[in-house]
Amino acid sequence: MKEVKTPKKPLAIYYTIVLLLILLLNVVLVPWMNERQIKEVDYGTFMSMTEEKNIGKVDIESNQIIFTDKDNTQVYKTGLMDDSGLTERLYTAGAEFSSEIVEQGSPVLSFLIWFVLPIILFTALGNYMNKKLMDKMGGPNSMMFGGMGKSNAKVYVQSTEGIHFSDVAGEDEAKENLQEIVDYLHDPSKYKDIGAQMPKGILLVGPPGTGKTMLAKAVAGESNVPFFSMSGSEFVEMFVGMGASKVRDLFKQAKEKAPCIVFIDEIDAIGQKRNSGQYGGNDEREQTLNQLLTEMDGFEGNNGVIILAATNRPESLDPALTRPGRFDRRVPVELPDLKGREEILKVHAKKVALAPGVDFSVVARMASGASGAELANIVNEAALRAVRAGRKSVTQADLEESIEVVIAGYQKKNSILTDKEKCIVAYHEIGHALVAAKQTHSAPVQKITIIPRTSGALGYTMQVEEGNHYLMDKTELENKIATLTGGRAAEEVVFGSITTGASNDIEQATKLARAMLTRYGMSDDFDMVALETVNNQYLGGDTSLACSAQTQREIDQKVVALVKAQHQKAIQILTDNREKLDELAKYLYQKETITGDEFMEILDSPQ
């Protein structure tokens, strides 16, 4: 499907044309008009014309004579000469003395030419181009004057290269859900006959980059209908009322083109909860939202306009938007699971040259938690890496390295670590890995590296789950906290001092411990009481406490106790395996990057 974007070019072309016209006016028209008005002749011609009595009007000025021929068809001028009998001769020639021969074009005419004509030209040309653009885009365009407040809705012109459901990997539930819409758009009568109402609006909710936009386009592609797409933020304008008028305009266009799909991305930009009774609210946004609600109420469910909207902040939407008759159907578009990740990788890998023997399931497992957009990025990064290395195809190693780039940033080539620091980092990372390996229910270690990254990480231990993981039990969570404290624990066990290198570990361990107490109900004292609410499910997942100050203090104490216990456990594990710790750290120090297999081999080898 080809998207006709709001063209930037016509404006430039428009200005160029106007400029050229003005130039033309100056260079050609002005001299031409002057020439037509006044023709300069030499004195001899004037004299012979006088003799032939071919003079109409005449005006003798201080330094020139302006005159016309007998029929007043042409104005001439000539320089004034010392000519004594001139006046007399002119009389006899029947000339009429007049001081108003040269109108220099009448003032009205020059006003028309210099002020009115350009304006007419500008407007006419502007309108013409505006109209042409409208025809091309299937709608008015706000770029030209006269188009203010019109929507910028882009129309995806129907063509064979449309996006289809097959282009969207994974997300089977979402596709199934949307298939009904496609079916309806193919044959609305089937639904009308039985009296079934299609939902007017469908809300696609999910984290960023999971393919919501793609799915909306695919619905249009599958059902062969026009696709209007606009982002919520595009409605919010500087002037109050403009957004509302854009909404009006968008729906007007959509109704003309029905059946069609209207897609509003980031609907939270206009659909946020209206805060009642508060001063300083955003009037413009509220008006826009009200207009949207009015439009949605205004049309019948069966008129063939289906509105899809996407958001990653569903909890912030105004309830008026999500009530029945508006966006009453909600389609979750979640992060892909293992199988989904593998499929998405394969879809995007079709665009690059692959070396034989690439195992996507391994890559997919390593990229746990990645969104579709991130996976697309990983494949592209891998291709770029292959080009940098001068290879013709993308290898498994490229893909694995690019995951690390996406997770941790690029390798810092000129490492500035001192030997001592490198040694500490090696122990720290082995500390994580060893604690993980010595506990049950820990994801296997995939890779350990102490090459610094641009993200600031000095090294990291990559653990990869074997399969999908939907539930975690209490022991697993505790073990995870222990693993996170393992780095610091190794520093303590080996060097007896601690460094700043554990800041990220500390943050994660604390978050986990808190969540166990406040959200997962994993403590005896609080039982199954929610002490925290998640504010934003899809973006970062920040939380706010929902309990008394007294309880907060208790939670804090329990969090500390929980982390402390796991930290002690980690220290114990490392002390018990001190020889292995030394051996592995030394090995990592020398090699800088080791695989999980190498790690396990050394770990399992007899002392």
Query: Which of ligand ADP, Zn ion, none does 332 bind, CB closer than 5 to 8 A by kind?
Result: none
Give the closest residue to 204 by CA, choosing from 188, 181, 223, 185.
181
What is the H or E stretch that residue 201 is in? strand 201-205
Query: Could you write out the three-class secondary structure of 67-124?
Result: EECCCCCCEEEEECCCCCCHHHHHHHCCCEECCCCCCCCCHHHHHHHHHHHHHHHHHH
**Nearest 5 degrees, angle CA 126-CA 129-CA 131?**
105
Query: Which of Zn ion, ligand ADP, none does 211 bind, CB closer than 5 to 8 A by kind?
Result: ligand ADP
Verify binding: residue 177, ligand ADP, rule CB under 6 A: no
Consult the annotation and say whether 123 binds a ligand. no
* DSSP secondary structure code for residue 25 in this structure: I
Min dist. Cβ of residue 487 to Zn ion (A): 3
Which of 139, 147, 162, 211 is the binder for ligand ADP (CB under 6 A)? 211
CA 194, distance to chain mean position in Å, is: 41
- 244, with CB counted inside 10 A (0-12, 13-18, 19+), is buried
**Between 198 and 570, whose beta carbon lies closer to Zn ion?**
570
Q: CB 32: neighbour CB atoms within 10 A?
A: 10
The C-alpha atoms of residue 66 and residue 81 are separated, in whole angstroms, by 13
Verify binding: residue 171, ligand ADP, rule CB under 6 A: yes
Verify binding: residue 250, ligand ADP, rule CB under 6 A: no
What count of residues does the chain have?
Answer: 607
DSSP-derived 3-state class of residue 154: strand
**Between 309 and 559, whose beta carbon lies closer to ligand ADP?**
309
**Between 234 and 284, whose beta carbon lies closer to ligand ADP?**
234
Min dist. Cβ of residue 378 to ligand ADP (A): 11
**Between 329 and 432, whose beta carbon lies closer to Zn ion?**
432
Q: Hey, which residues are catalytic here?
A: 429
Which residues in the 464-483 window bind ligand ADP by CB under 6 A? none
Per-residue binding letters, 190-209, with ligand ADP (x by CB under 6 A):
------------------xx
The C-alpha atoms of residue 47 and residue 43 are separated, in whole angstroms, by 6
Min dist. Cβ of residue 171 to ligand ADP (A): 5
CA distances from 266 to 26, 51, 170, 543, 559 (A): 51, 87, 22, 22, 37
Min dist. Cβ of residue 505 to Zn ion (A): 4
Per-residue binding letters, 485-524, with Zn ion (x by CB under 5 A):
--x-----------------x-------------------
Verify binding: residue 268, Zn ion, rule CB under 5 A: no
Residues 6 or more apart in contact with residue 133 via CB below 8 angstroms: 7, 10, 141, 143, 144
Contact between 513 and 565 under an 8 Å Cβ cutoff? The reply is no
Written as one letter, the residue type at 57 is K
CA-CA-CA-CA dihedral for 7, 8, 14, 20, to nearest 10: -130
Query: Which of Zn ion, ligand ADP, none does 487 bind, CB closer than 5 to 8 A by kind?
Result: Zn ion
DSSP-derived 3-state class of residue 440: coil
Which of 50, 68, 78, 210 is the binder for ligand ADP (CB under 6 A)? 210
Consult the annotation and say whether 10 binds a ligand. no
**Between 235 and 263, whose beta carbon lies closer to ligand ADP?**
263
- 273, with CB counted inside 10 A (0-12, 13-18, 19+), is middle
Min dist. Cβ of residue 485 to ligand ADP (A): 35
Min dist. Cβ of residue 231 to ligand ADP (A): 10
Consult the annotation and say whether 206 binds a ligand. yes
Min dist. Cβ of residue 341 to ligand ADP (A): 9
Consult the annotation and say whether 213 binds a ligand. yes
Residues 6 or more apart in contact with residue 78 via CB below 8 angstroms: 40, 41, 42, 43, 45, 46, 64, 65, 67
Residues that contact ligand ADP, how many (by CB under 6 A): 17
Closest residue to ligand ADP: CB criterion: 372
Residues that contact Zn ion, how many (by CB under 5 A): 2
Consult the annotation and say whether 211 binds a ligand. yes
Query: Which of ligand ADP, Zn ion, none does 58 bind, CB closer than 5 to 8 A by kind?
Result: none
Written as one letter, the residue type at 164 is H
**Between 171 and 234, whose beta carbon lies closer to ligand ADP?**
171
Which residues in the 353-412 window bind ligand ADP by CB under 6 A? 372-373, 376
**Between 293 and 344, whose beta carbon lies closer to ligand ADP?**
344
Which of 65, 66, 133, 168 is the binder for ligand ADP (CB under 6 A)? 168
Min dist. Cβ of residue 206 to ligand ADP (A): 6
Give the closest residue to 380 by CA, choosing from 410, 409, 406.
406
**Between 264 and 347, whose beta carbon lies closer to ligand ADP?**
347
Min dist. Cβ of residue 502 to Zn ion (A): 5
Per-residue binding letters, 304-333, with ligand ADP (x by CB under 6 A):
------x-----------------------
Which of 213, 287, 311, 463 is the binder for ligand ADP (CB under 6 A)? 213
Query: Could you write out the three-class secondary structure of 289-328?
Result: HHHHHHHHHHCCCCCCEEEEEEECCHHHECHHHHCCCCCC
Verify binding: residue 232, ligand ADP, rule CB under 6 A: no
The C-alpha atoms of residue 573 and residue 431 are separated, in whole angstroms, by 9
Query: Which of Zn ion, ligand ADP, none does 505 bind, CB closer than 5 to 8 A by kind?
Result: Zn ion
Consult the annotation and say whether 432 binds a ligand. yes
The C-alpha atoms of residue 191 and residue 197 are separated, in whole angstroms, by 7
CA-CA-CA-CA dihedral for 288, 289, 290, 295, to nearest 10: 90
Which of 212, 329, 385, 514 is the binder for ligand ADP (CB under 6 A)? 212
Consult the annotation and say whether 7 binds a ligand. no
Which of 38, 129, 153, 214 is the binder for ligand ADP (CB under 6 A)? 214
Min dist. Cβ of residue 270 to ligand ADP (A): 17
**Between 324 and 496, whose beta carbon lies closer to Zn ion?**
496
* Cβ contacts of 281-289, under 8 Å, gap ≥ 24: 282/236, 283/240, 284/236, 284/237, 284/239, 284/240, 284/241, 284/242, 284/243, 285/236, 285/243, 287/240, 287/241, 287/243, 287/244, 288/235, 288/236, 288/243, 288/244, 288/246, 288/247, 289/318, 289/320, 289/321
The C-alpha atoms of residue 126 and residue 562 are separated, in whole angstroms, by 71
The binding site for ATP comprises: 206-213
Residues lying near Zn ion in the complex (CB under 5 A):
487, 505
The binding site comprises: 206-213, 428, 432, 505
The binding site for Zn(2+) comprises: 428, 432, 505
Residues lying near ligand ADP in the complex (CB under 6 A):
168-171, 208-214, 310, 344, 347, 372-373, 376
